[in-house]
Structure 1
Amino acid sequence: MFTGSHSINMDPKGRMAIPTRIRDALLASCNGRLVLTAHPEERCLLVYPEPQWQEILPQLQALPGMRKASRRIQRLLIGYACPLELDGNGRILVPPTLRSYAGMDKKLMLVGLGNKLELWSEDSWSALLDEPGEEDLPEELQSLVF
């Protein structure tokens, strides 16, 4: 389970080191094999352990092709999907197309969301946190106590 937020740096070649705690969990769960892809609703990237991605991929492929929203989600999630493997130093190389999609430069935020991670540019992450919250919580959240 991936939790927490981690400030990390990306080098000029697009390489970033995965924090040790996250790296250890990835090595244990998927031998360091990941899939990096575009988030369909926000300008950030999704990081899936390969087995998790293999569960989601058939669901994405089964979406109705005649619906514009389905095609958009398929194009973003499947079209940008990039299989990666942690190198010997615990780094991954973020492809230029994905860096461009998410507006990434040197400063990044890696955020755990349970079964996957999000990768944000630090500026986009800060802007997201500064946005006002929705006044009406979805029904599913109304019964939660924080």
Structure 2
Amino acid sequence: MFRGLQSINLDAKGRLAIPTKYREPLAELCGARLVATIDTEERCLLIYPVNEWEEIQKKIEALPSFNPAARRIQRLLIGHATDLELDGSGRVLLPQPLREYAGLEKEVVLMGQGKKLELWSKTMWESRRDEYLEVVSQPDQLPDELQSLSL
């Protein structure tokens, strides 16, 4: 559902304007209700339609709570999960703690990742993208499944 990369400016209150091409599908899919949480591997945010997030949350909750690694993931992902709703102008308000975690200021990048979106600081994304391009140019660094893919 989500693909592509959009450069967007957050407003002074920390609101993100969801691109027009996503608004109608989101309204139909999840009543324009989203969930944002942190990415535990990168300093960015993950934004899910609420119905997609609920499936993920069930899986996270089912992890064994006596396993310390599982508890950390539960605390980080569910603990930071925040409900968002598009306002009449197609914007969502991103809470300050989430913006701080991802280093989001004015210029951000919203990236489609299939069933979810990622939200990055523009400068952080550009730096990370360049690092990724270095690794991708080294075929021995790619999984076998990707090496057999023809683009």
Fold match, TM over 0.5? yes
Aligned-partner SS, 2:135: coil
Deviation at 1:24, TM superposition (A): 2.0
Deviation at 1:5, TM superposition (A): 0.4
Deviation at 1:67, TM superposition (A): 2.5
Q: In the TM superposition, what whole-angstrom CA distance separates every residue of 1:88-145 from its partner, at most 9, and x where no partner exists? A: 0000000000001101100000000111100001011101111121532123322211
* 1: CA distance, partners of 2:124 / 2:103: 8
The answer to which structure has the higher helix fraction is 2
Give unpaired runs (5+ residues) of structure 2.
none
Which residue number in structure 2 is paired with residue 10 of structure 1? 10
| Paired-residue identity, % | 55
Q: Does 1:116 align with 2:116?
A: yes
* 1: CA distance, partners of 2:111 / 2:68: 30
Q: Does 1:65 align with 2:54?
A: no
- Aligned pairs, number: 146
Which residue number in structure 2 is paired with residue 22 of structure 1? 22
Which residue number in structure 1 is paired with residue 33 of structure 2? 33
Which residue number in structure 2 is paired with residue 125 of structure 1? 125
* 2: CA distance, partners of 1:12 / 1:119: 17
Aligned-partner SS, 1:84: strand
* 1: CA distance, partners of 2:117 / 2:149: 23
Letter in 1 for 2:78: I
Give the TM-score, by structure 2 length: 0.92
Letter in 1 for 2:135: G
Aligned-partner SS, 1:70: helix
* 2: CA distance, partners of 1:14 / 1:104: 9
Q: Does 1:143 align with 2:148?
A: yes
Superposition CA RMSD, Å: 1.2
